[in-house]
Chain A
Amino acid sequence: MGKASHLLALGAAILLATAGARAASWELDLDLRAVTSDAQASVLDGGYGPVRFDEHQSGLQLGRLRFALDAPLGQVWQLHVDASAWGNAYRNPVGLTEAYLQFRPYPRHDLRLRVKTGAFYAPISLENRAGGWASPYTLSYSALNSWIAEELRTLGVEATVDWLGTRRGLPFDLDVVGGVFGWNEVAGAALADGGFILDDRQTPVFDRVGKLEGASGAYLEPFREIDGRAGYYGGMDLNFPGRILLTALHYDNRADPRAADTAARVFAWHTDFNSAGARVEYGPDWTLIAQWLAGDTEVAPGGASLEWPFDARYVLLSRRFGSHHRLSARYDRFEVDSRNTQARGDESGRAWTVAYVFDSGRSWTATLEWLRVTGRSYAQSEYLGRSGPLTDTQLQLAFRYTLGSAGY
């Protein structure tokens, strides 16, 4: 994994060196947080809590330090590199959350082709639409998208074909997407062990999610290839630009749950799911987003299958007031089942998030977010001895300063 990571960094550096500095655009963000929390430690700190910052982390925290670069390479290729530091590093203090080359030929006969290769997010989230896969609505992502940030990344190739109805006088485009990837065969382990969390730390490619307490005490490393089988996803979007976006996707990492990397003592986790979502924008001010994801992760050490079906969904409503103010509220539900005799990994929970964003219109934004998660889980009752539903509350004030060239 380390080698692959270095290769990726080397490739990016070479491409950067050849990229014309003239046409490139870059961005540097610093996001600082004032936090007060009564939560238990999350998987990021070896616990089972559902939010990023726990009760021992109240005070000033680094939200994120990010550098991003977009550089055209000739006419139809573009390089995107996104590097971040999150303050809680497990392997490297700075990591790449995304790094890819995109092929963008001119559209022909109302068909537009886009091909990405490298490391990037599968097109699932409808809320993480700002630079750096951030959400413009809240600091903490939904449970569904926090899981994607934690464990999922396409390390491979993705092709999108858009049929441009909007260039034919129709109100919509129809998009078909397909991806093939590897090195993501431990995805699902964090769900089975610690359940869903709501946070905004994105695991850098080939880095670690966090440290597990409980059973093994090992680090979770989702970005491993164990059985040599490629995974895939395929989906469709119906897009009324700027108005309505409907999306559906099937994802399967095709890992063989009996396969294991004996040297690293890691099993392959077979994870597959379906997801669907809708985003409706009403006028320039109102946004409604709903997403649903349901699937299953399975591991079969020694042939004995252990399965954890999971599902997560949320509804987010956001309203912009003038050009400086935005208020958003989100309701999350999430569940992990266990098909094991022990019920290890069972959890269910719900969360309310309310966030206010002040956008100065210049280089800085301020965000105040209140997040309350209520849930019960096997891990909490078994390892922490706390039965019954637990409530964790986190309040964050973020100040984000952005430097950069004109942007995208």
Chain B
Amino acid sequence: MRRSARPSPSLRRADPILVWVALIIALSRSVWAPAANLAVTVRLPDGQPLADAVVTIQSVGKKFAPAAPIHAVMDQLHRMFVPEVLVIPVGSSVSFPNSDSVSHQIYSFSPAKRFELPLYHGKPYPPVLFDHVGVVILGCNIHDWMIGYIDVTDAPFYGTTDSRGTWTAEVPAGHYEITVWHPRMREQTPALVRELSIDASDQATLTLELTKALRPEPMEGGPPSWDSY
């Protein structure tokens, strides 16, 4: 589950399991705009957009500092983490309010951040600091099926796709490595790393289509008391 923030040489080969649907770099130059608008769209094999996919962009060559730390919120509502997937720059902090009427007991044993929040309602704890890069998988010790993901990144540009499967950013001209990740993807993470040159252009669009369907979502159909044993 842990993935490296650095590229490995094998990633530069064309990957047969990934279909590049489109890579259009429009070269309408603009003297006044050294930054490009980059739009990354992620689609499922059936063409449907994939929301909540994490997109991170690392510069190849020229070094950028990691994005500035933020303060983020991962709520607990209807016995689920909301959002289920969060991406934050390294050094960021996250609050875990509990908006349910029942208690939760949040933990992680992921190497990037081990912590426990004893049983609580509401918002009794200060935010948790995430100061190591990696994916942190969260669980609730009361509701064993609850699972949430925090991707702590040192990338200068990051985000998650919206309901149309798209994430956009303003990126300076340069050579980049773009990584797409979703916790239920079947593709190995390296297969979803692509290099892209944005060279004095102002519009770049990248569309990735997964070749394998996502792993199924955990069931949400049953009442919360099902399988309480």
Contacts and interface: CB of A to CB of B under 8 A. Distances in A.
A229 B105 CA distance: 39
B141 interface: yes
| B118, B139, B219, B221 interface centre (most CB from chain A within 10 Å) | B221
B228 interface: yes
Tell me what chain A mostly uses at the interface: helix, strand, loop, or mixed. Answer: loop
B222 interface: yes
Given A23-B103, A108-B109, A109-B109, A243 B216 contact: yes
A285 interface: yes
Contacts of B4: none
B47 interface: no
Interface in B178-201: 183
Nearest to B225: A131
Interface stretch (A36-44, A88-96, A161-169, A381-389): A161-169
A107 interface: yes
A79 to B, nearest CB: 13
Given A23-B119, A166-B147, A169-B183, A406 B109 contact: no
A110 B118 contact: no
Contacts of A408: 102, 142-143, 224-225, 228
Given A121-B229, A130-B225, A406-B102, A242 B147 contact: no
B228 A104 contact: no
Contacts, number: 89
A64 B51 CA distance: 45
Contact of B222 (A23, A75, A136, A407): A136
Number of contact residues on A: which range applies?
Answer: 35 or more
A133 B100 CA distance: 24
Given A241-B218, A242-B217, A407-B225, A167 B109 contact: yes
Interface string B200-229: 000000000000000111111111111111
Contacts of B119: 23, 72, 75
A285 B216 CA distance: 13
B116 interface: yes
B101 to A, nearest CB: 4
Interface of B: 1, 100-103, 105, 107, 109-110, 116, 118-119, 137, 139, 141-145, 147, 183, 215-229
5 contacts: A108-B109, A129-B226, A133-B229, A359-B223, A407-B102
Closest 6 CB pairs of A and B: A242-B219, A169-B1, A242-B218, A284-B221, A406-B101, A131-B225
Given A75-B118, A107-B107, A136-B223, 5 more contacts: A23-B103, A106-B116, A162-B144, A167-B110, A243-B218
